[in-house]
Amino acid sequence: MRIGLAGVGRIGAFHARTLLGVPAVESLVVCDADQQAAAAVAKELDAEHVADVETLLRAGLDGFVIAAATPAHAPMLRLAIEAGVPTFCEKPVAHTLEETLELARLAATSEVPVHIGFQRRFDAGYRRVQEAIAGGELGFVHTIRANTHDQSPPHASYIPTSGGIFRDCNVHDYDAIRFVTGREVVTAYATGGNKGEAFFAEAGDVDTGAAVLTLDDGTMCLVSSTRYNGGGHDVRLEAMGSKATLTAGLDDSLAMRSAEPGETFPAGPPHQTFMDRFQPAYVAELTAFAEVAKGVTPSPCTVADALQAFRTAEACDVSRREGRVVQLAEVPDL
Ligand SMILES: NC(=O)c1ccc[n+]([C@@H]2O[C@H](COP(=O)([O-])OP(=O)(O)OC[C@H]3O[C@@H](n4cnc5c(N)ncnc54)[C@H](O)[C@@H]3O)[C@@H](O)[C@H]2O)c1
């Protein structure tokens, strides 16, 4: 297969390397607004590079991967759907709810497969939690705790166009909660704070966030995020039920240390970035995308799925700014 990739920053260069390891992928063409960066990645990977996304979409592609900065997602996805090219798009689908709704409508009326990059759906631990809840192993689930704690912040220029911590980081947790429980969020109360560098507050964002969500079956979810988790990259989901509790991300590389005397768990080096934490999941999601692009399997995470996670992020952002509980019904839907 011939795959095109737009955006060769942190995740784009990583996806480019991963794609070249997917057996179905024979050739890769990249582009980036920063032409030198595109040329450098193409040289390193023995791939081709072109000047812009319009040229890329005319390069005889079997599939297209959008890994550019968030504001570029919506225009690129629109062009790809119009060009009829199966597309993998990094989360979030768009920078704003309005654009996400527009893309969800466009995708719903199109035959072009679109797969959104929520890689936790391909992580072995999250999948095991999903199976256990669906199979009744946990009894009734009363509480979910989910977190995205980054070891250190991204570069300062990333933050003003990121959409804020709920749309950028916790959107993964909101999607994972829907994925493992099969339920929808009905209310959100969120708050946040800034103790780190000034550029978060200057962009109207927070460097640490927390939310309480309720699901349509009464399950409570406690969701947190931070850009300053010095102990390492800590991403987990705990599902607590009337019969048992199961946790995704509880392994020897857990980015925490026990305060109990003599306790050695977790013993391994803590995860440092999303790349080492989710490496097998990224391989699995891009391998799945090749099957989606071939038309062998349907998209495992559609624009409609991503819209629901984004609506929860939107509700959390409104809640934090207005200091009140937000009903999801207040947030526009399809
Ligand atoms: N799924 C995940 O775990 C995960 C992890 C990190 C980032 N992301 C998402 O991936 C996207 C990129 O994040 P990043 O950390 O790599 O950012 P980054 O800032 O490191 O890289 C973004 C790249 O996009 C390029 N770009 C911007 N506008 C462009 C345009 N119009 N055309 C072509 N290239 C353009 C920039 O030049 C840059 O090279 C974001 O949407 C982010 O939310 C997802």
Question: 246-301: per-residue pLDDT in tens?
Answer: 999 999 999 999 999 999 999 999 999 999 999 999 999 999 999 999 999 999 99
Upstream peptide bond of 153 is cis (omega within 30 degrees of 0)? no
Task: Give the ligand 1 atom nearest the CA of 278.
Answer: 3
pLDDT band at 183; cut points 50, 70, 90: very high
Average pLDDT over residues 133-139: 98
15 pLDDT band, cuts 50/70/90, is very high
Answer whether 123's CB lies under 8 Å from 281's CB: yes
Residue whose Cα lies nearest atom 29 of ligand 1: it is 33
Q: What is the pLDDT of residue 16?
A: 98
**157 CA to middle of ligand 1, Å?**
11
In short, whether 181's Cβ falls inside 6 Å of ligand 1 is no
Using a 6 Å cutoff on CB, does residue 68 contact ligand 1?
Answer: yes
Percent of all residues in the chain with a pLDDT value above 70, rounded to a whole number:
100
Question: Does ligand 1 lie within 6 Å of residue 304's CB atom?
Answer: no
- Please report the pLDDT score of residue 321 as a whole number: 97
d(CA 13, ligand 1 centre) in Å? 10
**Closest Cα to atom 21, ligand 1: which residue?**
9
C-beta pairs of 167-171 under 8 Å, 24+ apart in sequence:
167/92, 167/310, 167/313, 167/314, 167/317, 168/70, 168/92, 169/209, 169/225, 169/227, 170/209, 170/211, 170/223, 170/224, 170/225, 170/313, 170/316, 171/91, 171/92, 171/309, 171/310, 171/312, 171/313
Residue tagged 């939310």 (tokens) = 211
Cβ count within 10 A of residue 167 = 26
Q: Where in the chain is the domain with CATH 3.40.50.720?
A: 2-119+283-301
DSSP letter at 308 equals: H
Q: Is 70 in the pocket of ligand 1 (CB under 6 A)?
A: yes
pLDDT-derived band at 106, boundaries 50, 70, 90: very high
Does residue 186 contact residue 214 with C-beta atoms inside 8 Å? Answer: yes
Q: What is the pLDDT of residue 19?
A: 98
pLDDT of the residue at 84 = 98
Q: Which CATH entry fits the domain spanning 2-119+283-301: 3.40.190.10, 3.30.540.10, 3.40.50.720, 3.40.50.880?
A: 3.40.50.720
Look at residue 155 in the predicted model and tell me its pLDDT. 95
C-alpha 66 – ligand 1 centre gap (Å): 8
Which pLDDT tens digit goes with each residue over 217-243?
999 999 999 999 999 999 999 999 999
| Ligand 1 and 7: CB distance under 6 A | yes
Q: What average pLDDT does the segment 155-168 reach?
A: 96
Numbered ranges of CATH 3.30.360.10 in the chain: 121-273+309-330
Mean pLDDT along residues 65-75? 97
Q: Which residues pair with 144 in a beta bridge?
A: 221, 239
Q: What's the CATH superfamily of 121-273+309-330? A: Dihydrodipicolinate Reductase; domain 2 (3.30.360.10)
pLDDT of residue 305: 98
Mean pLDDT of 101-129: 98
Per the prediction, the chain carries an average pLDDT of: 97
- Position 41 scores a pLDDT of 98
Is 163's C-beta closer than 6 angstroms to any atom of ligand 1?
no
Out of 18, 29, 90, 161, give the residue to mutate to test ligand 1, the one with the largest number of ligand atoms within 8 Å of its CB. 90
